């Protein structure tokens, strides 16, 4: 999808296939093109899927993808201690400024699961 949209290469750094294979799609030293405003200091991970059969956003991760994602995030946190792990949707603007990005404020739904709950990183707010 990113290639079609004219990005140079793939905007994310990691891509996790349904079978759990992790692809390094962009060298980590190269600034990502995945989250406007956050690209210069973030690492992007994308998983294959994310839409249900009706084309609606959904958490479609396979058990293999969950395992790989957990391992990868663990490795990255070792490499970059103290980093915040969050989902694309969590970077949406907090429109009503109540300190929480709520579902009605999401500019996109991905990654379709609660990253903070799953990876147990404390909220920055
Ligand atoms: Zn996304």
What CATH code is carried by the domain that includes residue 55? 3.40.80.10
Domain that holds residue 112: 14-119
Sign of CA dihedral 29, 124, 68, 62: negative
| This prediction's pTM | 0.84
In a domain, 45, yes or no: yes
Given this model, what pLDDT does residue 34 score?
A: 85
Helices (H), 1-96: 63-79
In a domain, 75, yes or no: yes
Query: For residue 87, what are the contacts with CB-CB under 8 A and spacing of at least 6?
Result: 110, 111, 113, 114, 115, 116
Q: How far is the CA of 101 from the centre of ligand 1 (A)?
A: 15
Q: How far is CA 79 from the centre of its chain?
A: 17
Q: How far is the CA of 106 from the centre of ligand 1 (A)?
A: 11
Q: How far is the CA of 111 from the centre of ligand 1 (A)?
A: 6
* pLDDT for 120 beyond 80: no
In a domain, 124, yes or no: no
Q: What's the total number of domains in the chain?
A: 1
In a domain, 3, yes or no: no
In a domain, 78, yes or no: yes
Given this model, what pLDDT does residue 6 score?
A: 56
């Amino acid at each position: 999808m990113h290639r079609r949209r004219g990005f140079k290469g793939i905007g994310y750094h990691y891509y996790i296939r349904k079978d759990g294979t992790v692809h390094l799609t962009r060298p980590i030293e190269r600034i990502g093109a995945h989250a406007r405003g956050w690209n210069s200091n973030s690492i992007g991970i994308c998983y294959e899927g994310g839409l249900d059969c009706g084309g609606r956003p959904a958490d479609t991760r396979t058990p293999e993808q969950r395992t790989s994602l957990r391992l990868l995030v663990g490795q990255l946190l070792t490499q970059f201690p103290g980093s915040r792990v969050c989902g694309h949707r969590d970077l949406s603007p907090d429109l009503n400024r109540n300190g929480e990005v709520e579902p009605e404020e999401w500019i996109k739904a991905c990654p379709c699961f609660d990253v903070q709950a799953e990876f147990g990183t404390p909220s920055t707010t």
